[in-house]
Amino acid sequence: MELLIGQVIRFEGDPMAEGPAAARHLARGAVAVENGKVAAVGEAEALRAAHPGARVTDLGRQLISAGFIDAHVHYPQTQMIASWGKRLIDWLNSYTFPTETGFADPRHAADVASLYFDLALSHGTTSMCSYCTIHPASVDAYFEEARARGMRVLGGRTCMDRNAPDGLRDTAQTAYDESAALLSRWHGRDRLGYVITPRFSPTSTPEQLRALGALWAEHPDCLMQTHLSEQVDEIAWVKGLFPEARDYLDTYEAFGLLGENGVYGHAIHLEPREIVRLKEVGAALAHCPTSNTFIGSGLFDMAGMTAAGLRVGLATDTGGGSSFSMLRTMAAAYEVAQLRHHPLHPAQLWWLATQGSARALKIDTFVGNIAPGMEADLIAVDLASTPLIAQRAVRAESFWEELFPTIMMGDDRAIAGVWVGGTRQR
Ligand code: GUN
Ligand code: ZN
The CATH number covering residue 55 comes to 2.30.40.10
ipTM of the assembly? 0.99
74 C-alpha to center of ligand 2: Å?
Answer: 6
Q: How far apart are CA 73 and CA 132, in angstroms?
A: 9
Q: Nearest-CA neighbor of 57 among 47, 70, 72, 69?
A: 47
Q: What is the 8-class DSSP label of residue 221? A: T
174 C-alpha to center of ligand 1: Å?
Answer: 21
Sign for the CA dihedral angle at 213, 308, 354, 116 comes to positive
Do residues 120 and 178 both lie within one domain? yes
Contacts of 339 (CB under 8 A, 6+ apart): 299
Do residues 61 and 72 both lie within one domain? no
* Number of folded domains that form the chain: 2
SS3 content of the chain, % helix, strand, coil (to 5): 45, 25, 35
Do residues 84 and 50 both lie within one domain? no
Task: Name which residue sits closest to atom 3 of ligand 1, judged by CA.
Answer: 199
SS (H, E, C) 334-396: HHHHHHCCCCCCHHHHHHHHHHHHHHHCCCCCCCCCCCCCCECCEEEECCCCCHHHHHHHCCC
* Single residue among 341, 360, 379 that ends a domain in this structure: 360
Do residues 302 and 317 both lie within one domain? yes
Ligand nearest to the CA of 228: 1
Residues in the chain: 426
Q: Which helix (H) or strand (E) holds 109?
A: helix 106-122
227 C-alpha to center of ligand 1: Å?
Answer: 7
CB-based neighbours (< 5 A) of ligand 2, an ion: 265, 317
DSSP string, 49-98: HH-TTSEEEEEEEEEEEEPEEEEEEEGGGGGG-S--S--HHHHIIIIIHH
What is the pLDDT at residue 276?
98
* Single residue among 315, 331, 360 that ends a domain in this structure: 360
Pocket test for ligand 1, best of 96, 158, 252, 268 (most atoms within 8 A of CB): 96
Q: How far apart are CA 3 and CA 27, in angstroms?
A: 15
Do residues 142 and 166 both lie within one domain? yes
CATH number reported for the structural domain that contains residue 100 in this entry: 3.20.20.140
295 close to 268: Cβ distance less than 8 angstroms: no
Do residues 95 and 171 both lie within one domain? yes
Do residues 34 and 107 both lie within one domain? no
Do residues 256 and 342 both lie within one domain? yes
What is the pLDDT at residue 110?
98
Do residues 266 and 383 both lie within one domain? no
* Single residue among 330, 360, 390 that ends a domain in this structure: 360
Q: Nearest-CA neighbor of 245 among 228, 224, 223, 263?
A: 228
Contacts of 268 (CB under 8 A, 6+ apart): 229, 230, 231, 292, 297, 298, 299, 300, 301
Do residues 193 and 333 both lie within one domain? yes
How crowded is residue 86: how many other Cβ atoms within 10 Å of its Cβ? Answer: 15
Q: How far apart are CA 353 and CA 125, in angstroms?
A: 9
**pLDDT tens per residue, the chain (426 residues)?**
999 999 999 999 999 999 999 999 999 999 999 999 999 999 999 999 999 999 999 999 999 999 999 999 999 999 999 999 999 999 999 999 999 999 999 999 999 999 999 999 999 999 999 999 999 999 999 999 999 999 999 999 999 999 999 999 999 999 999 999 999 999 999 999 999 999 999 999 999 999 999 999 999 999 999 999 999 999 999 999 999 999 999 999 999 999 999 999 999 999 999 999 999 999 999 999 999 999 999 999 999 999 999 999 999 999 999 999 999 999 999 999 999 999 999 999 999 999 999 999 999 999 999 999 999 999 999 999 999 999 999 999 999 999 999 999 999 999 999 999 999 999
Sign for the CA dihedral angle at 127, 72, 272, 160 comes to negative
Q: How far apart are CA 41 and CA 29, in angstroms?
A: 7
Do residues 347 and 380 both lie within one domain? no
What is the pLDDT at residue 269?
98
3-class secondary structure, 25: strand
**Which residues partner with 24 through β-bridges?**
10
| Helix axis angle, 172-186 to 136-148, nearest 10° | 20
How crowded is residue 104: how many other Cβ atoms within 10 Å of its Cβ? Answer: 15
Q: Which helix (H) or strand (E) holds 259?
A: none
The whole domain housing 83 covers 68-360
Say if residue 319 is preceded by a cis peptide, omega within 30 of 0: yes
Do residues 90 and 239 both lie within one domain? yes
375 close to 36: Cβ distance less than 8 angstroms: yes
What is the pLDDT at residue 157?
98
How many helices and strands, by DSSP H and E, does the chain display?
18, 16
What is the pLDDT at residue 404?
98
14 close to 20: Cβ distance less than 8 angstroms: no
What is the pLDDT at residue 217?
98
Around ligand 1, the residues with Cβ closer than 6 Å are 74, 88, 92, 96, 199-200, 227, 230, 291, 295, 317, 320
65 close to 370: Cβ distance less than 8 angstroms: yes
73 C-alpha to center of ligand 2: Å?
Answer: 6
What is the rounded (10 degree) CA torsion for 402, 407, 412, 415? 40
156 C-alpha to center of ligand 2: Å?
Answer: 13
